[in-house]
Amino acid sequence: MPVYEYTALNPAGKKLKGIVNADSRTAARQQIRQAGNYPVDIKETVPRAKAGRGKGFQLPQLGKRIKQQEVHLATRQLATLLGAGIPLVPSLNGLIEQTTNPAFRTIIAQIKDGVNEGNSLTAALSEHPRLFSRIYINMVQAGEASGSLDVVLERLAEFGENQQALKSRITAALIYPIFMALVGIGVLFMLITFIVPSITKVFEGTRQALPLPTIFLINLSNLLANYWWLVLLLIIGIVFGVRYALNRPTGRRFWDRMKLTLPGLSDVNIKIASARFSRTLSSLLHAGVPLFTSLGIVKNILNNTLLAEVIEDAAIELEKGKSLSHILRGSKWFTPMLVQMIAVGEQSGALEKMLDKAATSYEKEIEAKILALTSMIEPVMILTMGLVVAFIVISILLPIFEMNQLIR
């Protein structure tokens, strides 16, 4: 049954927006009138799977994007409704009523429409790969197959919330240093571009040979004052050049290796990858997804080609009868603690629990590491700005001191 999005006026003349399921546009108009509202505009939402390449839904201009937090909340609400014994379609109806985002409400209505037509929830979710990841869809599929969809959805909500919380903590820890860096760069740019030229004009009428630091400062000031647009274009060109290089296989591989070997940051990046690997694999295994399939999903969410290759090789070796811990032990990118916990989990038959513990441990370590790094960045930034300002002051004072000595 098609889903229509409408704009209507209520008896008080207030504009309303909503969605309605109907066999036709005329039937949708009748439903709106029966509700006591006057329809102004009615549009049918068209699945992009029918109109394009199957990358989600081509929605009307709803003016609001869908956040991952909304997906996590909806997942938890659906798990609660199903856990209370409510069938899937009425649960999706309840979810539509509770969702305030028009775009997301339309997508849930499309999912409900797919389920009504006899499709599984997995098939309906697969129509929206931009919103629901492979992890999400595979866990739902395992939940439907095992008859424990409510439990799997609850697990999915926890997984998404944990990932979002970790990302938010890292972002919050980095906001202040980034803000300080931008302010510092802006202050130095204003100082060199506008204040330094007014001071160095004093030296233009003298025939005195200026010190090298002063000459460098004057030339830098003239460059930024007269050719700031060229510097800006150069910076933009560098940014686009780096992005282009990272999109190439060679450049991407070089950058991924740098992230895992760069002193000071390699430990944090390896722990972030280990936490993501452990948490995702634990969630998939707990939902009943086979280990081989889970590894195929996990390799795509680590955002590192080197780690993806290791996991891909591990999946191949796993089919030959080797244990996961034995395979990962030969890689230098996975920490001994993680390998040991995987080995214990395999021996005890509780691999998902050990992976979950490893993920929790790594997430705590990551937060502590990020806080330690940001606390080191602040004094380094202050020291750097102090040195730059000191260089500017010395460059201005040096010729003044030399002029005083000549006068004496």
Kind and range of the H or E element at 258? helix 249-261
Tens-place pLDDT, residues 118-140:
888 888 898 888 888 878 888 88
pLDDT (average), residues 399-405: 73
User: Residue 403's domain is classified under what CATH number?
Assistant: 1.20.81.30
Give residue 406's pLDDT. 58
Taking residues 323-332, report their average pLDDT. 85
Lowest mean pLDDT among 7-11, 255-259, 386-390: 7-11
Q: Do 244 and 228 reside in the same domain of the chain? A: yes
Residues 351-362 have a mean pLDDT of 90
Is residue 341 in some structural domain? Answer: yes
Structure tokens that stand for 354 in this block: 């050990």
153 domain-assigned: no
Q: CA 152 to CA 158: how far, in whole Å?
A: 10
Exposure class string for 123-156: b at 16+ Cβ within 10 A, else e: bbbbbbeebbbbbbbbbbbbbbeeebbbbbbbbb
- In terms of Cα–Cα distance, which of 69, 130, 123 is closest to 101? 69
* Total count of domains within the chain: 3
* Domain presence at residue 74: yes
Q: How far apart are CA 266 and CA 304, in angstroms?
A: 13
d(CA 14, CA 224): 55
User: Are 58 and 52 in contact, with CB atoms under 8 Å apart?
Assistant: yes
- Is pLDDT at 260 greater than 60 in this prediction? yes
Q: In 22-40, which positions are buried (b, 16+ CB within 10 angstroms) versus exposed (e)?
A: beeeeebbebbeeeebebe
**Which residue reads 């931009």 in tokens?**
130
Q: One-letter amino acid identity for 37?
A: N
138 inside domain:
no
Domain that holds residue 16: 1-44
Examine the pLDDT at 53 and tell me if it is beyond 80. Answer: no
Residues 127, 129, 135, 140: what is their CA dihedral angle, to the nearest 10 degrees? -20
pLDDT band for position 41 (50/70/90)?
Answer: confident
pLDDT at res. 160: 84
pLDDT band for position 407 (50/70/90)? Answer: low
Same domain, residue pair 192 and 326: yes
Whether 145 maps to a domain, the answer reads no
Alpha-carbon span 120 to 130, nearest angstrom: 19
Specify the pLDDT at position 48: 41
C-beta of residue 340 within 8 angstroms of C-beta of residue 242: no
User: Is 141 a member of any domain?
Assistant: no
